[in-house]
């Protein structure tokens, strides 16, 4: 393909109309939603960049697979297709399907975490942290310092600070550590990849202290793409071989299939070869998710995941996707919008702390920016900052997040470059009036995962 051109390796067979409602209606909708974009009706949104989770467009091959669903309670042929596919891509012996990623977490984590244990990660995703805590553990993050400096280039900002991690293990004693979770790509730090070298070092740490190493594998293929494109030694290796090597260093994975498996629902627990753990997972899955050959999914869903896993590791698809997101990021950056740089795998993360320095973290600058972008162009992004992080459970104080990000998350195979150009232009349009944007305060604040249902209002 000629340099500089980014042509999708697919054509569009079915469309879903979208509509930009008038600005006055957007204002009313936002007020009604309590200044929380989660409470909008999707019809009030023009371009929906809330999440890349379950918002993907499936291929004709996946839809055809849905018609081949074997809805047997036990032993569905789609389960075996999924199992064979996982064995082929990851070299893992066992799988248990789950209804989505958090379903995998709720089954696996209580088997590995005891009351009072610590769980160490580069950065826990919010449901991952919640499941660690529900199992009685404490979640600790050990991401490298470079990730906190959004302007500074680092090819693998999702990496662990291995020295800090080891220091913590020594300090607390290995018996107080339940497991290490490697989140690939590291969503909360900006969809940033983890290098193979780092995965290997973390795995060695796990071996040294006899700790299981678990992959939070939602965006495994995007992580492999970054390794291929940023490490010379890997540029001629296939995505599949890179994935095999990544997963050879870990013992098990939890996966939200709603991302890189390009489906709308589903999750997987993968276990490399630990028969005892597999048997425990199978038993635990039954009351929580369902019989271990369907785990909360219909046969047709498992078929779509099996087919999607194969499509999601194709190099031309991954290259187009990552390049498209990069294009949006570069356009914003060159127009003076600060972003987490380099651009990550599934989203562009706008640094609202830097763009709106007049709004303190307790007034949620990234949420205020997200609301303004909705008013400007009917675009729905999401806050990844102090609103998401919540309060200290002991003191009740608002915790200051290391980041105040507006995440513009790109669903797979859904939007074209012109949609993303519109997003960039809309954000650039509001850049000159950001100092007029007001911070927010709660009118209703739920105790748990408050960002989903909270109600807010601008501070006059």
Ligand X SMILES: Cc1ncc(COP(=O)(O)O)c(C=O)c1O
Binding of ligand X by 260 (CB under 6 A): no
Q: Supply the minimum distance, in Å, between the C-beta of residue 214 and ligand X.
A: 11
Nearer to ligand X, 191 or 378 (CB): 191
Is 53 one of the binding residues for ligand X (CB under 6 A)?
A: yes
Looking at 48, 117, 216, 260, which residue is catalytic? 216
| Adjacent-strand bridge partners of 118 | 138, 177
The CB-of-219 to ligand X minimum distance in angstroms stands at 7
Nearer to ligand X, 184 or 352 (CB): 184
Q: Label residues 235-261 b or e (16+ Cβ within 10 Å = b).
A: eebebbebbbbbbebbbbbbbbbbbbb
| Residue 148 tokens, joined | 């906190």
User: Smallest gap, in angstroms, from Cβ of residue 1 to ligand X?
Assistant: 30
Give the pair of three-digit tokens for residue 288: 């929580």
Does the active-site annotation cover 259? yes
Burial class (CB in 10 A: 0-12, 13-18, 19+), 39: middle
Q: Any catalytic annotation for residue 10?
A: no
Strands 267-271 vs 94-98: parallel, antiparallel or unpaired: antiparallel
Q: Does 100 bind ligand X (CB under 6 A)?
A: yes
CB closer to ligand X, 178 vs 437: 178
73 catalytically annotated: yes
Cβ proximity to ligand X: between 216 and 372 the closer is 216
* For ligand X, the closer CB: 282 or 346: 346
Q: Tell me whether residue 369 or residue 388 sits nearer to ligand X (CB atom).
A: 388
């919640």: which residue's tokens?
Answer: 130
The nearer residue to ligand X, 185 or 363, going by C-beta atoms, is 185
With contacts defined by CB under 6 A, name the span among 35-43, 94-102, 221-229, 362-370 that binds ligand X. Answer: 94-102
Sign of torsion, CA 292 295 297 301?
A: negative
Rounded to 5, what percent of the chain is helix, strand, coil?
A: 45, 15, 40
What does the per-residue mask of binding to ligand X show for 6-45, with x meaning CB under 6 A?
----------------------------------------
* Closer Cβ to ligand X, 120 or 218, answer by number: 218
From the CB of 181, what's the least distance to ligand X, in Å? 9
If one asks whether residue 201 binds ligand X (CB under 6 A), the answer comes out as no
Q: Is 52 one of the annotated active-site residues of the chain?
A: no
Distance in angstroms (rounded) separating the CA atoms of residues 39 and 391: 21
Q: Which residues contact 306 (CB under 8 A, 6 or more apart)?
A: 65, 78, 81, 82, 84, 85
Q: How far is the CB of 50 from ligand X (least distance, A)?
A: 11
Among 44, 48, 216, 404, interactor with ligand X by CB under 6 A: 216
258 touches ligand X by CB under 6 A: yes
The pairing of strands 213-216 and 177-183 is parallel
Footprint of ligand X on 272-291 (CB under 6 A): none
Nearer Cβ to ligand X, position 193 or 378? Answer: 193
CA geometry: angle 124, 130, 136, nearest 5 deg: 110
Q: What radius of gyration do the chain's Cα atoms show?
A: 21
Active site residue 218: yes
Angle among Cα 215, 220, 224 to the nearest 5 degrees reads 120
* 356 touches ligand X by CB under 6 A: no
Whether residue 129 lies in the annotated active site: no
Q: Is 97 in the site for ligand X (CB under 6 A)?
A: no
Which window, 98-106, 134-142, 155-163, 414-422, contacts ligand X (CB under 6 A)?
98-106
Torsion angle of C-alpha atoms 95, 100, 101, 103, degrees rounded to 10: -80
Among 36, 56, 76, 128, binds ligand X (CB under 6 A): 128
Q: Does 256 bind ligand X (CB under 6 A)?
A: yes
Instruction: Decide if 209 is catalytic.
Output: no
Smallest separation, CB 141 to ligand X (Å): 13
Q: Which two tokens stand for residue 213?
A: 């190493």
Residue range at the interface with ligand X (CB under 6 A); choices 76-84, 122-130, 303-311, 370-378: 122-130
| Identified binder of ligand X from the candidate list 101, 158, 365, 439, rule CB under 6 A | 101
Phi, psi of 70 (to 5 degrees): -105, 105
Q: Catalytic one among 48, 52, 126, 251?
A: 126
User: Which residue in 109, 125, 220, 361 is the catalytic one?
Assistant: 125
What gap in Å lies between CA 365 and CA 355, rounded to an integer?
9
* Residue 125 within binding range of ligand X, rule CB under 6 A: yes
Taking the alpha carbons at both ends of the chain, their separation in whole angstroms is 53
> Of the candidates 78, 142, 139, 148, which has an alpha carbon nearest to the alpha carbon of residue 105?
139
Query: Which contacts qualify for 20-27: CB closer than 8 Å, 24 or more apart?
Result: 20/46, 20/377, 20/378, 21/46, 21/378, 23/375, 26/374, 26/375, 26/378, 27/375
Active site residues: 73, 125-126, 216, 218, 259, 451
Instruction: Give contact residues for ligand X (rule: CB under 6 A).
Output: 53, 100-102, 125, 127-128, 183, 187, 216, 218, 256, 258, 267
């Amino acid at each position: 393909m000629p340099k500089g051109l980014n042509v999708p390796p697919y054509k569009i067979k079915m469309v879903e109309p979208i509509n930009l409602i008038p600005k006055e209606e957007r204002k009313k909708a936002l007020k009604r939603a309590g200044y929380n974009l989660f409470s909008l009706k999707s019809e009030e949104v023009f371009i929906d960049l809330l999440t890349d989770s379950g918002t993907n467009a499936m291929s004709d091959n996946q839809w055809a697979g849905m018609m081949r669903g074997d809805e047997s309670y036990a032993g569905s042929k789609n389960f075996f297709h999924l199992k064979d596919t996982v064995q082929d891509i990851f070299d893992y012996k066992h799988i248990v399907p789950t209804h989505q990623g958090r379903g995998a977490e709720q089954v696996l984590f209580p088997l590995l975490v005891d009351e009072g244990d610590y769980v160490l990660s580069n950065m826990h995703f919010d449901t991952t942290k919640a499941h660690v805590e529900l199992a009685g553990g404490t979640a600790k993050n050990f991401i490298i310092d470079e990730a906190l400096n959004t302007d500074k280039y680092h090819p693998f900002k999702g990496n662990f600070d291995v020295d800090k991690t080891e220091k913590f293990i020594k300090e607390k004693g290995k018996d107080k550590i339940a497991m290490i979770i490697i989140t690939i790509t590291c969503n909360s730090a900006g969809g940033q990849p983890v290098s193979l070298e780092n995965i290997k070092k973390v795995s060695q740490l796990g071996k040294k202290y006899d700790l299981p190493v678990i992959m939070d594998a939602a965006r495994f293929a995007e992580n492999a793409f970054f390794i291929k494109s940023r490490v010379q030694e890997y540029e001629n290796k296939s995505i599949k071989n890179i994935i095999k090597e990544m997963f050879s260093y870990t013992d098990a994975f939890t996966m939200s299939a709603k991302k890189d498996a390009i489906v709308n629902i589903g999750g997987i627990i993968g276990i490399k070869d630990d028969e005892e753990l597999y048997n425990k997972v199978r038993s635990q899955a039954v009351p929580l998710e369902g019989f271990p050959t369907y785990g909360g999914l219909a046969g047709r869903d498992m078929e779509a995941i099996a087919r999607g896993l194969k499509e999601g590791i194709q190099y031309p698809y991954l290259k187009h996707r990552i390049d498209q997101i990069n294009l949006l990021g570069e356009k914003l950056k060159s127009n003076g919008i600060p972003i987490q740089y380099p651009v990550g795998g599934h989203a562009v993360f706008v640094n609202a702390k830097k763009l709106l320095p007049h709004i303190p973290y307790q007034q949620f600058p990234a949420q205020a920016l997200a609301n303004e972008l909705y008013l400007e162009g009917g675009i729905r992004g999401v806050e990844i900052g102090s609103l998401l992080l919540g309060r200290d459970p002991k003191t009740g104080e608002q915790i200051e997040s290391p980041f105040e990000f507006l995440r513009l998350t790109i669903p797979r195979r859904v939007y074209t470059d012109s949609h993303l150009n519109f997003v960039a232009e809309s954000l650039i349009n509001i850049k000159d009036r950001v100092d007029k944007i007001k911070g927010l305060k709660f009118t209703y604040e739920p105790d748990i995962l408050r960002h989903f249902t909270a109600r807010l209002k601008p501070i006059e």
